[in-house]
Amino acid sequence: APAESCMSKGTKATSWKVHDFTYEAAHAYSSPTKSTYWSKATFSLENPVLSYKAKCKATSRSKDYLNGKATYTCTSKTGDEATFTFDRKSGKLAINQTWSCAAEGGYFTAKGSKALKLDCEDSVYKTQDKGKSTKTSHRVTTCKPLTVKVPITDLSAVL
């Protein structure tokens, strides 16, 4: 039997597999005017109709951490594009991916989202600044890696 065409395969995309989604955040507080925030989310994105995984990463220095408003781009070895947003409060991960079928001159755009249930732990510790009387309080959040399917809810093809 002949190999299935890229366009024919693409119509069967129903979900992505998000591998090892990890989230971590930190807040360092030394005075009401001196506070730093940092957060990061990483995962690999697998679309079962494609032969590669895209690497996805978001970082933020906002006090809102990752709030779902900024769009981050995943990297892959092909020219295909995948972007995502992540809102730490709701856990919502939204993905948008476009991939092309060069031989047939067409492409697909897929969108979907899922609220992730992350298993996270907070730890708090204090450090004394050398030669100063100020103490810095650190709050660190780390979440266990999560592998989960995210449904594709909107799939369109252009030939």
**How is domain 18-158 classified at the CATH fold level?**
AOC barrel-like (2.40.350)
Q: Domain residues of the chain, as ranges?
A: 18-158
150/49 Cα distance (integer angstroms) = 14
Determine how β-strand 106-115 pairs with β-strand 120-128: unpaired
Summarize pLDDT for 43-83 with one digit per residue, the tens.
999 999 998 999 999 999 998 899 999 999 999 988 799 99
Strands, sheet with 92-101, edge to edge from the N-terminal-most edge strand = 72-73, 81-87, 92-101, 106-115, 154-158
Q: Whole-model pTM?
A: 0.89
Enter the tokens of residue 6.
């890229």
Enter the tokens of residue 51.
């032969």
